[in-house]
Amino acid sequence: MTTEERFSDKHRNLYDEFKNLPVSDKIAALFEFELMTVAEGFEKLSECSISLGKKIFETACPDAGDESEKRAAPSSTESTNL
C-alpha cells in the first residue's frame, strides 16, 4: 500500500496540492508548519510547568493555600465590624 492509498480524499487533495507547489512555496509551507508545531509544543510545556509548579508549591507549603484563601475572602464578622 502506497502513501497515497492510505490518505482519505481530503488528505489526498492536500497532498496533491502540496506536490504541485513550486519548491520555494513548499519550503515556506514546511517552515510555517514547523513554527506552528514548536509554538504548540511551548504552549504544552508552559502548561505542564505551571501545573508542576503548583503541585510542588502545594507539597512544600500545604497550609499556604489555606492562608491565601482566608485573606481573599474576609469573614462575615469582619464586615459587620465596619
Q: Residue 41: what residue type?
A: G
The dihedral through the CA atoms of 71, 75, 78, 80 has a sign that is: positive
Confidence of residue 2 (pLDDT cuts 50, 70, 90): low
Q: pTM of the prediction?
A: 0.48
pLDDT at 28: 95
Average pLDDT of the residues of the chain:
79
What pLDDT is attached to residue 36? 95
| 67-72 CB contacts, 8 Å cutoff, 24+ apart | none
Distance CA 57, CA 55 (A): 5
Position 8 confidence tier, pLDDT thresholds 50, 70, 90? confident
Distance of alpha carbon 11 from the chain centroid:
25
| Mean predicted confidence (pLDDT) in 7-20 | 85
More confident residue, 22 or 71: 22
